[in-house]
């Protein structure tokens, strides 16, 4: 499906308006929800501890609540990225609570180390256990593309296809290079992921998308959802 973006506001329905800062406070989430309602973003994407709060703040709107699962709490470099490596049971418990609290979508981090070790069975089961808990809710899997080889990215996408999730997602946005630049979504990774999954899954580009030109390029490369904290700036054409 080709998405036509003719003006900045056209991006709004494809944006997960995001605040995943570990230090976020309820007033920050309130602001996030108010902005999402005002601009018509697809979801607010937040940590699981804020799901119930956000659900209440969004009553009467069409904006959905997206909760991250197994998400990091600190910035690391690519050589130190071991995201998603908590036991599967911990991800399951976090997903269960998020669903009970009203989450409409889940974005889970795959076990990066097990993927790099070619442990397909582990990664498959890790995702599948969370999918069972999601119980038909939209499930996106974050592969942290910038710390993977192209072969590993393809493997991650193939596993996601096998489990039949809804989206593959590029990044957490919590990996930075030595200069502090976010190693997030790239047009090349979005194209590779779209080529691998075809029309079977969605592709979410996330991490480092800070302006309209970049956001539009991600959509044109094949993304059909964007994770952005600069969403208001983006739909304003900046």
Any idea which residues carry the catalytic annotation?
107, 169, 204
Residues 42 and 64: their CA atoms lie apart, in Å, by 6
Residues 36 and 50: their CA atoms lie apart, in Å, by 15
3-state secondary structure 180-217: CCECCCCHHHHHHHHHHHCCCCEEEEECCCCCHHHHHH
Helix or strand or coil: residue 152?
Answer: helix
Helix or strand or coil: residue 143?
Answer: coil
CA 225 to chain centre: 9
CB 217 within 8 A of CB 185: no
What does each C-alpha distance from 74 to 21, 81, 112, 217 come to in angstroms? 9, 10, 16, 28
């Amino acid at each position: 499906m080709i998405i036509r973006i003719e003006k900045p506001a056209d991006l709004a329905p494809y944006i997960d308006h995001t605040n995943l800062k570990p230090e976020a406070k309820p007033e920050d989430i309130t602001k996030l929800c108010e902005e999402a309602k005002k601009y018509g973003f697809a979801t607010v994407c937040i940590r699981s501890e804020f799901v119930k709060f956000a659900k209440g703040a969004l009553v009467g709107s069409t904006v959905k609540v997206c909760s991250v699962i197994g998400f990091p709490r600190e910035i690391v470099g690519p050589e130190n990225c071991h995201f998603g490596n908590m036991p599967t049971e911990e991800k399951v418990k976090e997903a269960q609570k998020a669903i009970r609290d009203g989450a409409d979508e889940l974005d889970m981090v795959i076990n990066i180390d097990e993927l790099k070790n070619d442990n397909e069975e582990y990664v498959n089961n890790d995702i599948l256990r969370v999918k069972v808990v999601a119980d038909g809710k939209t499930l996106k899997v974050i592969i942290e593309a910038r710390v993977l080889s192209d072969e590993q990215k393809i493997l991650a996408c193939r596993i996601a296809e096998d489990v039949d999730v809804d989206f593959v997602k590029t990044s957490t946005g919590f990996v930075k290079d030595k200069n502090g630049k976010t190693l997030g979504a790239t047009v090349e990774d979005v194209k590779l992921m779209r080529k691998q999954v075809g029309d079977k899954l969605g592709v979410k580009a996330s991490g480092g998308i800070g302006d309209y030109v970049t956001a539009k390029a991600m959509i044109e490369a094949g993304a059909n959802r964007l994770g952005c904290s600069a969403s208001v700036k983006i739909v304003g054409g900046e």
